[in-house]
Structure 1
């Protein structure tokens, strides 16, 4: 088994997994047991390329591979020429708020925009300049000017007018200010005015707090806020598609943080926002937008605090009654991530060993039989059947490889026997589960 992994990917894989998080790049090299989900996802991407939009909910227990799956989806979508972005829900950001928390989520999305040549994010400026160059070329052709002439100051307004016209054709809500800010970015771009470019990016990322400041710096009357950020995401989607990209894909992880919103009214407002986005996508009110939301079963099914507490969502997201563990329906909005089996875990650990050895440029003296011994030891520990997750298995295995790299003389069997199983579920989720009993 030889993996065609790049040094940068290997470093990201090992360092991230040892830290208990999913690597931003390289996950395709260590993927096992998700071929059916990926095949269905590729089919869904084809639909979005053709102008449809959709929302998918990826549901699984803590440590079951939800975040891993979203990163894999990113990799697949980038290869299909999608613009992608990722963001985590946290106690400080959400889809709906009246105190800036929704804007924090929007800013994270804009900061993390990625394309195939910049898969780690930070691609917004690159995309803007690419779109501007396309507008410049079109304007030059329409006015029988060369690409050198069109950049002269006397033709600045020609290009600015074309930018405004193009944006107005693409957008519905907030298009005038959106176009005005992109024109300012063009001015900064053509005149090497870094401050003007930074200010334009600040506005596009929702980082202006007051209309007065935005008007002083950019001459626009509005700012992006908690209430209009979703319209701006739709504007960006149309902009990216006009450049030749297949669409815009957003991956929103850790949706359990919406479930954990303490105020029932605010929690319901967030679920109402999910419903609005869901309806927009499946009723054809927005094109080429693909949103993936990852959360736990509690987030989905809990009828007091989860999505199922909001009847309009429950009726849309209930599982196909004909689905079983053997007969899966990957076309429905909710995809439940089933645990990968022990054979798949074994293949995964072998892949991780190979990536580890590639990263450190050495060989670790641990055989396939010893990997199986490690698995038998960890899966037979007290509490393993209830609490053990793939994330725990991966981290423990890599920790052992790390110890053996630095202490090759150690007894591997003794290391295996020292493993302990812990319940990694958040305390507040456990308490809420107890309350439900």
Structure 2
């Protein structure tokens, strides 16, 4: 794998502040080959005018959010528009119009510089492509005629938006796009400019979403991928809110499975509580449970079926964390052009002792926090030559693991990191 200095800088700088980089995620993705293969299959399926809903579950620190982000980048490469939203106090996933609003305000697609793009960006690109097209008017007319069959009000507003953009009427374009994106505070006089009276509400939100997805496919995109993080927060809400959220999940599953919501995929991430809580989780809503929970879940939890709606992930094992650690050390070395004299044995022991400190469960440690600390250690070592802080960390971990003997892997040679990670090079 070749990476540029800019890519290396993006990765290290993001990890330094404890966040996942927006791009170049493949550098950090280890131990998830099977999951990636499954979601690649799903995206290819959805691209062919199908719909799908999947769930990712695992304990805190197992990398659910990272996997969501990786899937989003995969989807962009396949031509999907991606919307990543998060359940919180402002969006409890119990109202369809709120969900639609959140989706429309968090759009991104390949080729747009800002990671958090916008509705306007998507169609600005389309209009620019049409500028030199002699059949521009006919192509716009064809698109409008198609979407009017899905929702006439949406088609009217979109027609207004396109005309305003072509005529450089920025005010009307802004009003039209705001209405399409679900803004409810528009004055009646503003809406009258493009001849609509209603607004997006719980009764028409799904129609608007279906129309928007159709519009995306008409202008050349593969469809829409919606990523929803921290879905387990629904469990903490009142019963009426929980049940409304679970009913929306059931509805989305049915619409995607039936083909009514085609070229669309939802991927939800949540902790095990969402699926296993007998009093507040999905198991309390029979109509939803029957669609996503298998009889084999309780009979044999060791069996994995990645094609099922629920994809269960675990924390990285020692080998995966070792590979990831070496990748980061190598990138840091290449970026700052220094030689960290770290033996494989030291790195391996650091990983092993970290792993054992949390009871052989890396779900006990947040991977982002682990990588943030690793970058801090490397930065200090590079700027303070002669201070091997990683070895000092190993000593501290030994103190926390007095019953654990120093880890020795006889299969590893007594080599330095400068000779490792040959699969990554700085372009």
TM-score by length of 2: 0.83
Find the counterpart in structure 1 of residue 147 from structure 2.
167
How far is 1:363 from its partner? 4.1
Find the counterpart in structure 2 of residue 122 from structure 1.
117
SS in 2 for 1:47: helix
> 127-136 or 68-77: which moved more?
127-136
SS in 2 for 1:380: helix
Distance 1:30 1:181 in 2: 42
Q: For structure 2, list consecutive stretches of 5 or more residues without a partner in the other structure.
A: 401-427
How far is 1:123 from its partner? 4.5
How far is 1:228 from its partner? 3.3
Residues 305-360 of structure 1, C-alpha deviations (whole Å, 9 max, x = no match):
11111111112221361896765211110000122211111111111223333444
How far is 1:361 from its partner? 4.7
CA contact (8 A) 1:214 1:220 kept: no
CA contact (8 A) 1:60 1:338 kept: yes
Matched, 1:302 2:296: no
TM-score by length of 1: 0.81
How far is 1:403 from its partner? 2.5
Give the direction of change, closer, same or farther, for the CA distance of 1:201–1:357 in structure 2 (3 Å limit).
farther
CA contact (8 A) 2:175 2:191 kept: no
Residues 96-137 of structure 1, C-alpha deviations (whole Å, 9 max, x = no match):
23xxxx655433422332222127131422322345567888
Find the counterpart in structure 2 of residue 395 from structure 1.
372
Matched, 1:405 2:382: yes
Distance 1:387 1:273 in 2: 32
Find the counterpart in structure 2 of residue 364 from structure 1.
340
Residues 379-415 of structure 1, C-alpha deviations (whole Å, 9 max, x = no match):
3336664723433432332222232233333242223
Matched, 1:321 2:296: yes
Distance 2:117 2:335 in 1: 26
> 62-71 or 114-123: which moved more?
114-123
Give the direction of change, closer, same or farther, for the CA distance of 1:210–1:188 in structure 2 (3 Å limit).
closer
SS in 2 for 1:237: helix
1:237-386 aligned within 5 A: 237-261=213-237, 263-319=238-294, 321=296, 327-381=303-357, 385=361
Give the direction of change, closer, same or farther, for the CA distance of 1:13–1:134 in structure 2 (3 Å limit).
closer
How far is 1:365 from its partner? 3.7
Residues 200-259 of structure 1, C-alpha deviations (whole Å, 9 max, x = no match):
222222223256254245432122235533332221111111223222111111112212
How far is 1:271 from its partner? 0.7
> 124-133 or 39-48: which moved more?
124-133
Distance 1:191 1:185 in 2: 10
Matched, 1:189 2:165: yes
CA contact (8 A) 2:60 2:364 kept: no
How far is 1:297 from its partner? 0.2
CA contact (8 A) 2:15 2:371 kept: yes
Question: Which of 382, 394, 414 is the equivalent residue of 2:392?
Answer: 414
SS in 2 for 1:408: coil
Find the counterpart in structure 2 of residue 200 from structure 1.
176
May I ask how many residue pairs the two structures share in their alignment? 395
Give the direction of change, closer, same or farther, for the CA distance of 1:187–1:363 in structure 2 (3 Å limit).
farther
Distance 2:379 2:166 in 1: 51
Distance 1:311 1:335 in 2: 20
How far is 1:20 from its partner? 2.9
Distance 2:358 2:127 in 1: 60
How far is 1:373 from its partner? 2.6
SS in 2 for 1:409: coil
CA contact (8 A) 2:63 2:367 kept: yes
CA contact (8 A) 1:63 1:390 kept: yes
